[in-house]
């Protein structure tokens, strides 16, 4: 079973991957639930490329820092509200992906057309208020708008993805941006052919068996660490 | 004459080139026929950036692993079906090129407009089912849809390219994506002028004499190895 | 309190960041006011990627070099006019950002749609004459057209951003290009939803508290220095 | 006065710069006149990223190699015809720039809208035959179509730029692609405002005084050598 040190190590890997993929620059956060507790780990108010394991904070479900010396992010309530209300969620990324952001500032829905987009079948929800999520109430509203989806767009203000594990939340971030980029491109050259409900369902099953999730995670970790390819 | 070790070395170079060109990220595979046999070499179920020569599997035409310890890819049938049915094909790449993928999710045909696109004269075939190619039947259907073409788009699910050698299959992957990018751009600013049948034929002859194939291969290998330029 | 050496060090960091973000290539300049004086520091006529602290010039408000051996930029009047007429401005970047440049050569206004764009609420002013700003009169005209805004587009000729500090002027450069890129993308897929006046005002307050300005600055400095991520 | 060794050294810098800027990948060439002679230097049939000074060939105006052991490019006639017919030209780049290529495969003219594009006022000529330039006659036709312009597009087949010096020919390559990228972008968001004849003339004078040409050349050389920024 994973220890807290394992989670912290994976969170730092997540930070490096999200930076390497340009899904964050100076801002954004990663959090991970401490299983069977009312606590979670969260990166502090520094750029993800710079986060070290020793910087990671522990918060409780009241949004209070219970361990760690670094400054708490202004959007701690976003993570707190999701962790508290959604036991299925064990990890959250708060990112600023470019193509997904573009969809959030138009009425165009982000609907999947390619295989890795199948997780977003039916369209990605959008939280229309452009504020930072700095209060308990705003946190709860985002959590509610997210529902059972793996991702939500915050209008003009980045995205949130969730997963049952840290790698899954990170892959949802990567696939969300991929889905946005492919749909964006398709809209430039013709009429996109969306995945049907059944196609999405089948592709979701195929697209993320544990072995392939681990495969993708290993690749992106390698890429981030070697700063190559 | 090339030995199996030469093929494996070239397969690893192919993996590095495809990664460096972002034609694959975590997924994708490369395979190469063992001449005068009913066997072929194939990369295992790991990201191509990570593949070493010792990881490469040997499969027979029943899709069975006959040598190697790594896990077999879920799409082994795709490679098996093509290798079995098309003696002219000695190498296959299974990639996820972005611009080509965009064409696969609209009704817009990917028709060549630039010189290196001439190999795709008449348009690149599209396999419309978005499933992973995990069965013998699906493998056969893709092989049939490919016909004599050097490439096929799998709807929302990447591409397959083939060649008489490993470098040729890799260059088809690079040129396919180039063809998609140039056509995509042309569609944004006006009416693309396709190569005529005769122009394509002439350009195909000019574009890939062995000396230039080797020239391109050497460049991309250098680029991938030095991680520069 | 910052010394002149501190300013020079931050100017070199600014040069590296702007180069790393491709907001300048061979051209562009950075300047910084020497507080409580009628002088300012300015990079010389060399590419920003190459500027060292010892290259930095000191100019007075007549546009004369009073310290330094390097050649003065042909656009020194641009910086002189702004420094002289706008005491609130302590730092200037003169950049050539691609997406912002595209807006300057059409009638389309660059209006913010995303959070970091809120500084540009109401639209970025455009200076319509495509000349280099090589005279006192042109310098004054640009300063006047800039008004109280944090940025101005020079038609087909790059941009100017200003700030109360060097990091702020640099972040305005980064956010200006981000704003242009997001609006550009939104225009390709639908009707962009601009930030309202009130939304912009609120976001401006949230987007650049000193702690987050420093956070972003630290990240971009790290990125430029490590040439990573 | 420059010696042949100086020219060769600058040609290798040109090769690195064009590779670093992705204006060439596996293909393309650079040539430079040997002053007061009927000879010129030319890169051989290898990727520009790999060219060393010792690889450079000397050709005469009959297209014959008079010095050097490497294989002569199939397009030697292109360079020969321009060198022979245009004494003003001292250097040529043969490149494959992406955005400029896109213009060549539509009827849309590549007309300058931004400052560095001013060299191309009136529009860049296009050679409509998509063949490689492998004969004396084709070489002469391209030379004639080029006329007094600094650049010509070969339909679907890259570009040629010329200059009075190696740095000038390289900067024309960089500015040509910039001009194409800015116009491409402008066409996506509105009606591009072209530079008028007078504006172009003025900007041309301002844009390339020897000091700024050297400044840009130094920057791009630094960038290519350090593989940074």
A206 to A163, A212, B129, B131: CA distances (angstroms): 17, 9, 14, 8
Average pLDDT over residues C59-78: 96
pLDDT of residue B1: 65
The pLDDT value recorded for residue B21 is 97
Is the Cβ of D220 closer than 8 Å to some Cβ of chain C? yes
- The string of pLDDT tens digits covering residues C176-223 is 999 999 999 999 999 999 998 888 888 888 776 778 899 999 999 999
B45 neighbourhood in chain A, CB within 8 Å = 211-212, 215
Q: How confident is the model at residue C227 (pLDDT cuts 50, 70, 90)?
A: low
Whole-Å CA distances, A219 to A174, A228, B112, B131, C60: 12, 11, 33, 23, 54
Would you state the pLDDT for residue A170? 98
Are residues D222 and C47, on separate chains, in Cβ contact within 8 Å? yes
Position A1 pLDDT exceeds 70: no
Average pLDDT over residues C142-154: 98
Residue A204 confidence (pLDDT): 82
Distance from CA of C157 to the nearest CA of D (A): 6
Q: Which residue out of B185, B202, B214, B225 would a mutagenesis test of the D interface target, given it has the greatest number of D Cβ atoms within 10 Å? A: B185
Among C121, C215, C217, C221, pick the best mutation site for testing chain A contact (most A Cβ within 10 A).
C215
Residue C1 banded pLDDT, cuts 50, 70, 90:
low
In angstroms, the CA C160 to CA C150 distance is 8
Within 8 A by CB and 6+ apart from C57, the residues are C41, C42, C43, C44, C65, C67, C68, C70, C72
Residue of C106, C128, C225, C227 to mutate for D, most D C-beta atoms under 10 A: C106
SS3 content of chain C, % helix, strand, coil (to 5): 50, 15, 40
Q: Is A50 on the interface with C (CB under 8 A)?
A: yes
Quick one: pLDDT at residue B197? 86
Identify the segments of chain D with pLDDT beneath 50. 229
Nearest-angstrom CA–CA distance, A79 and A132:
12
Q: Which of A93, A1, A90 is nearest to A43 (CA)?
A: A93
pLDDT value for A2: 79
Q: What average pLDDT score do residues A144-154 get? A: 97
Does residue D215 contact residue C27 with C-beta atoms inside 8 Å?
Answer: yes
Contacts of D188 in chain C (CB under 8 A): 102, 184, 187-188
What is the pLDDT averaged over residues A4-14?
Answer: 97
Judged by a CB distance cut-off of 8 A, whether residue B166 touches chain D is: no
The two tokens of residue C170 are 């640099």
With residue C12 as reference, give the H or E element that holds it.
helix C4-20
Of the pLDDT bands very low, low, confident and very high (cuts 50, 70, 90), residue A229 is: very low
Q: pLDDT value at position D1?
A: 64
Nearest CA in chain A to B101: A182
Nearest-neighbour CA in chain A from B36: distance (Å): 33
Token reading at C60: 């007075």
Provide, as residue numbers in chain C, all residues whose Cβ is less than 8 Å from the Cβ of D191.
106-107
**In terms of pLDDT, which residue wins out, B165 or D203?**
B165
Among chain A residues, the shortest Cα distance to C178 is held by A98
C-alpha–C-alpha distance, residues D16 and D22, integer Å:
10
Bridging pattern class, strands D65-67 and D151-154: unpaired
| B52 contacts chain A (CB < 8 A) | no
CB contact under 8 A, D203 and C134: no
Q: What pLDDT is recorded for position D229?
A: 41
Per-residue pLDDT, D71:
95
Q: Number of Cβ pairs closer than 8 Å across A and C?
A: 99
pTM comes to 0.96
Interface of B with A in 132-161 (CB under 8 A): 132, 134, 155-158
Q: Per the CB < 8 Å rule, is D191 touching C50?
A: no
Strand partners, C159: C95, C153
Nearest CA in chain D to B118: D156
Chain mean position to CA C62: 21
Does the CB of D197 have a partner CB in chain C at under 8 Å? no
Tell me what percent of the residues of chain B surpass a pLDDT of 70: 97
- Name the band, by pLDDT with cuts 50, 70 and 90, for residue B227: low
Eight-class DSSP state of A94: E
Query: What distance in Å separates the CA atoms of residue A101 and residue B197, rounded to the nearest whole number?
Result: 42
For residue C5, name the pLDDT band (cuts at 50, 70, 90): very high
Per DSSP, the residues of chain D read ---HHHHHHHHHHHHHHHHHTTS-SS--EEEEEETTTTEEEE--SS-GGG--GGG-EEEETTS-EEE-SSPPPTTHHHHHHHHHH-TT--EEEEE--HHHHHHHTSS------SGGGGGGTT---EE---S---SHHHHHHHHHHHTT-SEEEETTS-EEEEESSHHHHHHHHHHHHHHHHHHHHHHHHS---PPPHHHHHHHHHHH--HHHHHHHHHHHHHHHHHT--
User: Which residue(s) pair with C94 in the sheet?
Assistant: C29, C160
Instruction: Quote ipTM for the complex.
Output: 0.95
User: B215 to chain D: nearest residue by CA?
Assistant: D46
Q: CB-CB: which of A22, A49, A101 is closest to C219?
A: A49
Residue-level pLDDT at A223: 94
d(CA A56, CA A48): 11
Mean pLDDT of chain A: 95
Interface test with A, best of B134, B156, B223 (most A CBs within 10 A): B156
Q: Which of C111, C160, C108, C112 lies closest to C132 in space, CA to CA?
A: C160
Nearest C-alpha neighbor of A102 from the set A86, A118, A83, A124: A124
- pLDDT confidence band for A154 (50 / 70 / 90): very high
Interface test with B, best of D130, D133, D184, D229 (most B CBs within 10 A): D130
Nearest CA in chain A to C187: A106
Cα separation values, A103 from A124, A126, D36, D164, Å: 10, 9, 60, 48
Distance from CA of B1 to the nearest CA of A (A): 31
Residue of C nearest to D211 (CA): C45
Q: For C113-136, what is the mean pLDDT?
A: 94
Inter-chain CB proximity A114 and B99 less than 8 Å: no
H-state helical runs in chain A: 4-20, 76-85, 98-104, 136-146, 166-189, 197-207, 210-226
- How far off is chain B from A136, nearest CA to CA, in Å? 38
- Contact C107/D182, CB-based, under 8 Å? no
Interface of D with C in 81-120 (CB under 8 A): 113-115, 117
Give one DSSP letter per residue of chain B, joined into a string: ---HHHHHHHHHHHHHHHHHTTS-SS--EEEEEETTTTEEEE--SS-GGG--GGG-EEEETTS-EEE-SSPPPTTHHHHHHHHHH-TT--EEEEE--HHHHHHHTSS------SGGGGGGTT---EE---S---SHHHHHHHHHHHTT-SEEEETTS-EEEEESSHHHHHHHHHHHHHHHHHHHHHHHHS---PPPHHHHHHHHHHH--HHHHHHHHHHHHHHHHHT--
Name the phi and psi angles at C179, rounded to 5.
-60, -40
Residue of A nearest to B157 (CA): A115
- Phi/psi region, residue C211 (left: phi>0; alpha: psi -120 to 50; beta: rest), is alpha
pLDDT value of position B206: 76
Contacts of A132 in chain C (CB under 8 A): 115, 203, 206
Is residue B229 over pLDDT 50? no
Which residues of D fall within a CB distance of 8 Å from B117?
156
User: A183-201 pLDDT, tens per residue?
Assistant: 999 999 999 999 988 888 8
Residues of B in contact with A222 (CB under 8 A): 47, 49-50
For D91-114, give one letter per residue: b (16+ CB within 10 A) or e.
bbbbbbbbbbbbbbbbebebbbbb
Which of D219, D221, D226 to mutate: most C Cβ within 10 Å?
Answer: D219
Q: Tens digit of pLDDT for each residue in C9-30?
A: 999 999 999 999 999 999 999 9
CB D31 within 8 A of CB D91: yes
Residue A51's SS3 state is coil
Kindly report, residue by residue over A29-64, the tens digit of the pLDDT. Answer: 999 999 999 999 999 999 999 999 999 999 999 999
A69 vs B: CB within 8 A: no
> Is A203 touching B (CB cutoff 8 A)?
yes
Identify the H or E element spanning C217.
Answer: helix C210-226
D190 and C CB contact within 8 Å: yes
- Residue B218 has its nearest CB partner, among D50, D106, D108, at D50
A34: part of which helix (H) or strand (E)? strand A29-34
Contacts of D71 in chain B (CB under 8 A): 211
Cβ-Cβ contacts under 8 Å for B168 (sequence gap 6 or more): B91, B208, B213
Give the pLDDT score at D205.
Answer: 80
The pair of three-digit structure tokens given for residue A217, joined into one six-digit string: 């995670």
D12-39 burial, b at 16+ Cβ within 10 Å, e below that, comes to bbbbbbbbbbebbbbbbbbbbbbeeeeb
Is D211 in Cβ contact with C106 (below 8 Å)?
A: no
Q: What is the mean pLDDT of residues B173-183?
A: 98
CB contact under 8 A, A98 and C181: yes
Mean residue pLDDT of chain B comes to 95
Which of A113, A181, A211 shows the shortest C-beta gap to B45?
A211
- Would you state the pLDDT for residue D227? 65
């Amino acid at each position: 079973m994973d220890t807290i040190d394992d989670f912290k190590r994976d969170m730092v890997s997540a930070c490096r991957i999200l930076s390497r993929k340009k899904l964050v620059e100076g801002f954004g956060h990663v959090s991970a639930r401490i299983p069977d507790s009312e606590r979670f780990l969260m990166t502090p108010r520094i750029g993800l490329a710079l986060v070290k394991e020793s910087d990671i904070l522990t918060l409780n479900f009241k949004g209070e820092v219970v361990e760690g010396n670094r400054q708490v992010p202004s959007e701690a309530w976003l993570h707190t509200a999701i962790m508290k209300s959604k036991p299925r969620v064990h990890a959250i990324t708060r990112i600023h992906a470019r193509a997904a952001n573009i969809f959030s500032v138009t009425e165009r829905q982000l609907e999947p057309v390619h295989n890795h987009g199948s997780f977003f079948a039916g369209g990605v929800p959008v939280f229309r208020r452009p504020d930072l999520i700095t209060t308990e109430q705003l946190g709860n509203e985002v959590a509610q708008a997210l529902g059972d989806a793996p991702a939500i767009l915050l209008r003009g203000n980045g995205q949130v993805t969730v997963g049952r594990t840290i790698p899954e939340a990170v892959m949802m971030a990567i696939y969300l941006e991929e889905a946005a980029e492919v749909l964006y491109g398709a809209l430039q050259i013709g009429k996109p052919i969306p995945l049907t409900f059944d196609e999405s369902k089948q592709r979701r099953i195929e697209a993320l068996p544990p072995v392939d999730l681990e495969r993708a995670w290993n690749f992106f970790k390698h890429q981030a660490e070697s700063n190559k390819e």
